[in-house]
Amino acid sequence: MLALLIQLHAQPEHHLFTSLHGDPIDASNFAEIFRRAQRALGIRLRKFYATKHTFVSIALTRGVNVTWLSE
Annotated domain spans of the chain: 47-71
Grouping H, G, I as helix, E, B as strand and the rest as coil, residue 63 is coil
Choose between 17 and 55: higher pLDDT.
55
pLDDT digits (tens, 9 = 90+) for 5-53: 666 677 777 777 777 787 888 877 888 888 888 999 999 988 878 888 8
For residue 5, how many C-alpha atoms fall within 13 Å in the half-sphere facing its CB?
Answer: 7
Residue 64, pLDDT > 80, answer yes
What φ, ψ does residue 24 adopt, rounded to 5°?
-65, 145
Is 1 a residue whose pLDDT tops 70? Answer: no
For the whole prediction, is pTM greater than 0.75?
no
